[in-house]
Amino acid sequence: MQIKELARRLQITPRAIRFYEEKGLITPKKADGSGYRQFTEADVWRLQTVITLREVGMSIEDIRHVLRQLDEGEGGLLHYLELQLSFVYDRWVELSKVIHTTEAMIERVKRDGESDPASLFELAEASKRLRQARSNWVDRWNFNQLAANYDQMVTEARDGFHPHERYEQVLDALVEKVAPQPGETGLDAGTGTGNLARRLRERGVTVCAFDQSPEMLKRCRQKNPGVEAKLGTFFAFPFLDSRFDFVATSYALHHLTDEQKVLALAECRRVLKPAGRLAIADFMFVDAGHRANHLEALRQSGRTDAIERIEYGYYADRSRLLAALKELGFQPEAEQLTTYVHLVFATLA
């Protein structure tokens, strides 16, 4: 078919088709003699893909990368759409923070007048610090490579150091604490290979999950057919507000700094329904004093390897975590399950 027919079929302009051709996204053949472009069904499919990806906000360069990967048989369209959705949620959450900061500034100006720019600067700086905390996270652990061996890794001690001791019992205790009820919808945040999601699903509830690692998600989906598992981060859960009766997370928050943990807790708050429940099982110390005493005991016994592993992760200060939850409107409680794992349970007031 020629360009006008293709334009009518896809409800776009010939000019748009020429633009995508100039960018190298489609390469129609020229008919012998006439010089007119001749488009095949393959060109139609390719152009439909381009239009679809543009509609969800993907850049021309990113679309070119997607098409190249598809041509080479690497990756898939689903993966790139999931990446784009994760990006959109990230921008949406970021924009909501900007809106909140701007509204706070407006309220201060209404209350105090325009004579105190220092207070507005303070709000702006706080917003900037949070934005930097969100953008500074990096995957130092390389979860895509860990995915294949993760389930074995959590059951084994290394050099006598085993922070995941009683792994299965910890997950069972978390599920018992959150007490899923038939008809509820729950979220497994930072699902990893889906071991917690499987336990929740066995309770007869609707389970959703997310993780930032595509390889971890692949294994989660294999274990949990029917679970809505999405690509996402702790700074922008890929779900809309007030969707879940409960959020559960295990062995994930210790990959976030203290400031980043607060951002993750705020996301838990955002996606929970009124009176929603939050359960966290992770590596923690009761407070800074307990942490210092434990590290000193390890040092005295020559366990520098254990100290290095603890300090490489971000084991939480439980007292600070509980205080942050109270600030967000939760009523929290906590108990220690193993040497390093604590269970925090909180309900929205």
Predicted pLDDT at 218:
93
Instruction: Give the pLDDT of residue 278.
Output: 98
Q: 130: Cβ–Cβ under 8 A, 6 or more apart, which residues?
A: 97, 259, 263
**Kind of pairing between the strands at 185-189 and 37-38:** unpaired
CATH topology of domain 143-348: Rossmann fold (3.40.50)
Q: How far apart are CA 156 and CA 340, in angstroms?
A: 15
Residue closest to 143 by CA, chosen among 77, 267, 234, 268: 234
Q: What angle do CA 124, 125, 128 make, to 5 degrees?
A: 90
Do residues 246 and 276 lie in contact, with contact meaning Cβ atoms separated by under 8 Å? yes
Name the nearest CA neighbour of 42 among 29, 53, 55: 29
pLDDT per residue, tens digit, the chain (349 aa), is 888 888 888 888 989 888 988 998 888 877 555 667 788 888 888 888 888 778 767 788 888 877 887 777 665 667 777 777 877 788 788 878 777 778 877 887 887 776 667 766 776 776 677 667 767 778 888 899 999 999 999 988 877 899 999 999 999 999 999 999 999 999 999 999 999 999 999 999 999 999 999 899 999 999 999 899 998 999 999 999 999 999 999 999 999 999 999 999 999 999 999 999 999 999 999 999 999 999 999 999 999 999 999 999 999 999 999 999 999 999 999 999 999 999 999 999 8
How far apart CA 268 and CA 246 sit, in angstroms, is: 9
pLDDT, residue 31, reads 59
Strand partners, 161: 158
Check residue 74 and give its pLDDT. Answer: 60
* 8 A C-beta contact, residue 313 and residue 255: yes
Instruction: Locate the domains of the chain by residue range.
Output: 3-71, 84-135, 143-348
pLDDT, residue 127, reads 66
Concatenated DSSP letters of 115-145: S-HHHHHHHHHHHHHHHHHHHT---TT-HHH
Tell me the residue ranges of DSSP E strands in 159-252.
185-189, 206-211, 228-231, 244-250
Q: Tell which CATH architecture fits domain 3-71.
A: Orthogonal Bundle (1.10)
By C-alpha distance, which of 255, 234, 200, 217 is closest to 79?
Answer: 217
